[in-house]
Amino acid sequence: MIVSNPAPLDISYVPEKLFFRDDKISTIRSSVILPAKNGITNNVIIYGNSGTGKTSAVKVIMRDNAPIIYENALSFKNVKNLLEHVISRLGRPVSYHGLSFSDIFSTINSIISFRGNMVLVIDEATSLLKDDDAGIYNLFRASEIYGTRLSTILISMENPFTYLDRKYGTVTGIKFDNYSSFEINKIIADRASMSLEPGTYSDSILKYISDISGQFGSARFAIELLQKAAYMGEYRLSKSIENDDVRSAVSLINPYITESKLSLLDREDLIVLLSICILLPDSISTNIKSIEEEVKLLGEEYGIGLKKTEIYKIIRKLENIDIISSQLKSSGNKSSVSKLISINDVPVSILSMKLRDLISRI
């Protein structure tokens, strides 16, 4: 067994503590939650790429009894629709749809006078921000127009300030940056320790997942990879998660890859790619010298000889179509730099079989 406690690997899991986000959480608290408690309304837009902790930050704040109402915009056509839902959630039945904004905000006013000030969080609000001008306008200016003590936090993946109009009044932007590989490593090490059996994962597996996910800066992607790789390992009845489990997980999340790319390759390209695959099951990357040696051996098997310059050219081609990736690494002594080649998004064991099949058919 590899997974002993699946919950922390679930994407909706909100951890006890969010790493690296103390500053964002205190900005949200000080710019909107505390003022709201004192009757001051403020509007905030949290933005940043997928998996940067936007939703989790708000959920962490909700734990300490902040007066927050959380909604996801994807369930609603527009702001009016969403507000009608909020009203009925707070115990006021909405007898008919198509209320005016003025009806809606006067109902909210009476709810607030009874329950106290509130902060409305609208998650996944990118399309509302783009398409519902009137709704956003009424929401952001509710305090001036209707005297409503309702603060709003919108969450969006895109930076809305590129198209947000000044007419909406003052809106505070809080940007969530991508996580670095280092930060992701810390986040998934914590999840792994909560959910996986000790001894079933190594530091280097966690580092491998973090390096792949670091390209997108997404903790969401990393946790999904960890979860899927762990189940791949279990499925193989292995005692631990291996590199190819991670590659399988990437190909599950990202299934489009190989077929169409392989169709771009000729026989020589396939031989070089197969050589790289042969070098990778037990390690994360390989180097040019090992590839040259492997190509020589395979070339003999398939009756093809390739010069070094031809091999380099093919490696560049494979990089350009993103089937392999490379990294430069200084090898300690002075200025010498070597190139490390890896394949991250498809299990090399499966790719090898596919390549042998293709080579025998061309």
Ligand X SMILES: Nc1ncnc2c1ncn2[C@@H]1O[C@H](COP(=O)(O)OP(=O)(O)OP(=O)(O)O)[C@@H](O)[C@H]1O
**Which residues contribute to the site for ligand X (CB under 6 A)?**
11, 13-15, 18-21, 48, 50-56, 157, 187, 219-220, 223
Q: Which does 216 bind (CB under 5 to 8 A by kind): ligand X, Mg ion, none?
A: none
Interatomic CA distance for residues 278 and 292, integer angstroms: 12
48 or 347: CB nearest ligand X: 48
Closest CA to 194 of 1, 62, 5: 5
Least separation, in Å, of the C-beta of 47 and Mg ion? 11
Q: Which does 19 bind (CB under 5 to 8 A by kind): ligand X, Mg ion, none?
A: ligand X
Q: Which does 83 bind (CB under 5 to 8 A by kind): Mg ion, ligand X, none?
A: none
Least separation, in Å, of the C-beta of 48 and ligand X? 6
Closest CA to 101 of 56, 137, 49: 137
50 or 204: CB nearest ligand X: 50
14 or 171: CB nearest Mg ion: 14
| Number of other CB atoms surrounding residue 273 within 10 Å | 28
Choices 51-59, 136-144, 328-336, 341-349; region in contact with Mg ion by CB under 5 A: 51-59
Q: Which does 247 bind (CB under 5 to 8 A by kind): ligand X, Mg ion, none?
A: none
Interatomic CA distance for residues 292 and 296, integer angstroms: 6
100 or 180: CB nearest ligand X: 180
Judge contact between 188 and 210, C-beta under 8 A.
yes
With contacts defined by CB under 5 A, how many residues of the chain interact with Mg ion? 1
Least separation, in Å, of the C-beta of 107 and ligand X? 30
Choices 55-63, 65-73, 84-92, 314-322; region in contact with Mg ion by CB under 5 A: 55-63
Instruction: Determine whether 134 is exposed, middle or buried from the number of CB atoms within 10 Å of its CB (0-12, 13-18, 19+).
Output: exposed
The angle subtended at Cα 218 by Cα 276 and Cα 349, nearest 5°, is 25
53 or 214: CB nearest Mg ion: 53
Closest CA to 47 of 58, 37, 36: 58
Output the residue with the shortest Cβ distance to ligand X.
Answer: 53
Interatomic CA distance for residues 76 and 65, integer angstroms: 26
Interatomic CA distance for residues 174 and 185, integer angstroms: 24
55 or 148: CB nearest Mg ion: 55
Strand spans (E) along 144-255: 150-156, 172-176
Contacts of 292 by beta carbon, 8 Å cutoff, 6+ apart:
308, 311
Q: Which does 20 bind (CB under 5 to 8 A by kind): ligand X, Mg ion, none?
A: ligand X
Least separation, in Å, of the C-beta of 278 and Mg ion? 41
Which of 41, 42, 43, 55 is in the footprint of Mg ion by CB under 5 A?
55
Least separation, in Å, of the C-beta of 136 and ligand X? 19
Q: Which does 210 bind (CB under 5 to 8 A by kind): ligand X, Mg ion, none?
A: none
Is 52 a binding residue for Mg ion by CB under 5 A? The answer is no
In the block, tokens 């704040």 appear at 61
Q: Which does 220 bind (CB under 5 to 8 A by kind): Mg ion, ligand X, none?
A: ligand X
42 or 55: CB nearest Mg ion: 55
249-272 b/e (C-beta count within 10 Å ≥ 16 → b)? bbbeeeeeebeeebeebeebbbbb
Interatomic CA distance for residues 25 and 17, integer angstroms: 11
Least separation, in Å, of the C-beta of 223 and ligand X? 5
51 or 233: CB nearest ligand X: 51
Question: Residues interacting with Mg ion, by CB under 5 A?
Answer: 55
